[in-house]
Amino acid sequence: MSDFLELIKSRNPGEPEFHQAAEEVIETVAPVLDKQSKYRKHKILERMLEPERLISFRVTWMDDNNEVQVNRGYRVQMNGAIGPYKGGLRFHPSVYPGILKFLAFEQTFKNALTGLPLGGGKGGADFNPKGKTEEEVMRFCQSFYAELIKYVGHRIDVPAGDIGVGGREIGYMFGMHKKLSSQFTGALTGKGVGWGGSLMRTEATGYGLVYFAQNMLATKDDDFKNKICLVSGSGNVAQHAIEKILHLGGKPVTASDSSGFIYDEEGIDHKKLAFIKDLKNNKRGRIKEYVQKYPSATYHDTKRSDEANALWNIEAQCAFPCATQNELNRKDAENLVTNGIQLIGEGANMPLTAEAIEHVIDNDVLYSPGKASNAGGVATSGIEMMQNYTGSYLTSEEVDNRLKGIMKGIHDDCLRAAETYGFQGNYMAGANIAGFIKVADAMIAQGII
């Protein structure tokens, strides 16, 4: 298997995030390949690690000073074996093919785990929405989508949000889709509930993450009551993770952005959360402003990514990294373990480095990989697609109940697959194996294509 990883590295040079995501899967599915020769015979892993299509395009737009701006847009259509490509769009200056390939690869497994007919994809642009005016964001989204529309559609590939892409950006892109196609179809998910969106999609990733953690705690006859919870990020996933922790009686004490984090020892309650939502979603401010409003909290600047982050050195029972990839390193994992952490649930995609994962698993922490525990977002996107196809809409309660059921299903499938292949209690191995088998069997059934 190490030769195979070297081959993947040499075929995809300069893409460390993709290598990292690939290595984790290659290592954990090895026993499946050893047991079932058909997967090697059909070169399933080789095929899964090669995007079916990688589209790269120029995005040209005019800023408010009438200067021409040029960005790069992408869509990675990774694997369409079990359904139309599905996955978010990320607008962030760090976006390049290596990040999108890691995200699209993980998305393929995640979407399979939901039990819904969704293939894996991801896209985005190296556009930085920070500091841009409303009009600039709109013009960028319109120009980006005017090109992307050539490759997507409600039965082909259905994008949604991710970092830097929320309801506002989906609105501008959906407007462009309608204008260019003359059709009102569910071409994107995360739409407003008044125009084809699903109730609960906004909440789904964060809520689903906490439902998944609730299932993990239940295996130890435990629950969220009075558990101190560390959350990083302050965007869509973090906000709704904090909200659901509160619903279940836990005590969230942190939130962050790329500049730093706040620590509120008294706990972030519903009122304080409403302040964070308004600050980040409407005012587009920085998390630092929380301490001006609530002086009992403290603010800490972010350290370099190879140093320990003081956020993960606060004593707590649960930790939910909900910002970005590789935000929690080996040193952070050591600090969490030393302070007695019981559970780490990934809300972001690949927030723990490989060394951090190894350390927490070795120390018997309940640990869930993002491809399992953040699947509630895409699952609810799948539910949005079904509502768009049929034209009939569900209540919040109905969507929430489906979400709970799907998260429980993923939880149980991970444990079952892990046990079958000798990784008892290892959710990471279980998620990789269960997702792999589902996609692999579909690929074999559909022939060498």
Tokens 């949005």 identify what position? 384
Query: Active site residue: 86, 110, 122, 438, which one?
Result: 122
Our measurement of the distance from residue 146's CA atom to the centroid of its chain's CA atoms, rounded to an integer in Å, reads 25
CA distance 131 to 135: 12
SS3 category, 52:
coil
Sign of the CA dihedral running 19, 25, 27, 32: negative
User: Can you name the residues that pair with 165 across neighbouring β-strands?
Assistant: 162
**What letter represents residue 401's amino acid?**
N
258 contacts which partner out of ligand NDP, ligand 2IT, none, CB within 5 to 8 A by kind? Answer: ligand NDP
189 contacts which partner out of ligand NDP, ligand 2IT, none, CB within 5 to 8 A by kind? Answer: ligand 2IT
| Nearest alpha carbon to residue 240 among 400, 420, 16 | 400
CA distance 433 to 428: 9
Tokens 């995200």 identify what position? 103
Whose Cβ is closer to ligand 2IT: residue 242's or residue 350's? 350
The site for ligand 2IT, by CB under 6 A, has a size of 12
**Span near ligand 2IT by CB under 6 A; candidates 144-152, 256-264, 328-336, 376-384:** 376-384
Tell which positions 245-274 bind ligand NDP, by CB under 6 A: 257-259
**Is 104 within 8 Å of 51 (Cβ atoms)?**
yes
Tell which positions 200-219 bind ligand NDP, by CB under 6 A: 205
CA distance 11 to 96: 16
Tell which positions 334-373 bind ligand 2IT, by CB under 6 A: 349
Find the shortest distance in angstroms from Cβ 233 to ligand NDP. 4
Find the shortest distance in angstroms from Cβ 188 to ligand NDP. 13
Among 143, 198, 324, 426, binds ligand NDP (CB under 6 A): 324
The site for ligand NDP, by CB under 6 A, has a size of 24
Contact characters 390-429, ligand 2IT, x per CB under 6 A: ----------------------------------------
Find the shortest distance in angstroms from Cβ 68 to ligand NDP. 25
| Nearest alpha carbon to residue 353 among 5, 21, 2 | 21
Does 164 contact ligand NDP by CB under 6 A?
yes
Whose Cβ is closer to ligand 2IT: residue 203's or residue 334's? 203
Among 162, 203, 243, 332, binds ligand 2IT (CB under 6 A): 162
DSSP string, 334-345: HHHHHTT--EEE
Our measurement of the distance from residue 302's CA atom to the centroid of its chain's CA atoms, rounded to an integer in Å, reads 22
Order of strands across the sheet that contains 298-301: 254-256, 260-263, 298-301
Note the residues at the interface with ligand NDP (CB under 6 A): 161-164, 166, 205, 233-238, 257-259, 322-324, 327, 347-349, 374, 377
Q: What residues are labeled active site?
A: 122
